[in-house]
Amino acid sequence: MSKRAIASPPVLPGYAVIRPLGSGGFADVFLYEQDLPRRVVAVKVLAAEAVNDETLRAFNAEADILARLSAHPAIVTVHLASISSDGRPFFVMEYCPDTMSARLRRDSLALTTVLETGVRIAGAVETVHRAGLLHRDIKPSNILITALGSSVLADFGIAAAGDEDGDVAMSVPWSAPEVLQETTNGTVASEVWSLAATVYTLLTGRSPFESDRRQANTRDLMTARIIKAVYTPTGRDDVPPRLEEALRVGLSRDPSRRFASAQAFAEELRWVQYELGIPPTAIEVASPEWARAAGLIDLADSGRRGPLVSTVNPDSRRAQREAKQAAAAAEAKRDRDGLVVRERRWAANPLVPALIGAGVAVVAVVGVGVALIAGGVL
């Protein structure tokens, strides 16, 4: 099957197209310049011929998840999502000029860079988990590098709820044995595996179970080696024993023997930094209060979405009746002194998904939105 040709960029009011950035299975990415505020942005556009219920579901989910999580400093920022005049869904996001995988192809990475990236991305993954979600495709090519040189996690197109059943989506070299065996479509433990596999790749330039012989790296042969999960040391002289052990634990065949959470993995990387005399990188994660306050994301939504138009007629009899009932209920709550008795409204709110990765440290709320703090090892 031939590769799909990149489509022409849509006309977007307030944006001027500069050039194509790339093309994937069902979407194209273009570089635009936004007029106000003046900045360059990446615009991901769903290909017209690829629009169906499943691609719309994935596209909507990615836009919604990024909108929820992109306040995190290690998750790519989304600015806008809508539908173009020719009917193609799109979203506008932060432009990142490089990826970790491309950088790795050009040159080897310093140990300090790998450790910093590992801690940052683990904090991002922990925040995803605290929102009741799984990324399901953690790998070097999904770690982008911003204009300021910081690493950020991207590509949430196959993300899922932590308890969601369904088809398994994977990138084999960074997938856990249980995912390849299709006993699960993803768990916190399988994401810890992917994190460890990604850090290993950044250190060595190859995935943990990749062979030196190209013909031995077919999907089936690599899958067989991953399922056996016999750890091979990185072979780098500057990698200390504690880091080798952290990677070995993260890549354990038995999920129960891995780190209990992405944050626990990040904390171990910070200990490695500390013992090497490197200032430990902050672990930035969302607070439990943020996770409880956040609404649910409908990951099954496959509708065409854009500018919101209300479907409720404010003059309808039903609306009038409900308004009268609300007024009567408020009046009934007044006590003998004429003061309104207020109920605890949060008791009636829908429950958000239970936080996965129990036992992580409680962190303080700072500011509005995603509250981030530095996890400490000292």
Single-letter amino acid, residue 168: V
CA distance 81 to 5: 23
How many CB atoms are closer than 10 A to CB 172? 17
Which residue(s) pair with 334 in the sheet?
340
DSSP SS3 for 274: helix
Single-letter amino acid, residue 71: A
At 14, give phi and psi (nearest 5°).
90, 0
Q: What is the DSSP string of 114-135?
A: HHHHHHHHHHHHHHHHHTTEE-
Q: Which of 88, 136, 258, 270 is catalytic?
A: 136
64, 135, 211, 216 alpha-carbon torsion, rounded to 10° = -70
Residue 30's H or E segment, with its range, is strand 27-34
Residue 152: both structure tokens together = 């950020």
CA distance 152 to 148: 11
362 secondary structure, DSSP code: P
| Residue 325 C-beta-side C-alpha neighbours within 13 Å | 6
Instruction: Tell me if residue 225 is catalytic.
Output: no
Which residue(s) pair with 285 in the sheet?
373
Question: What amino acid positions are annotated as catalytic residues?
Answer: 136
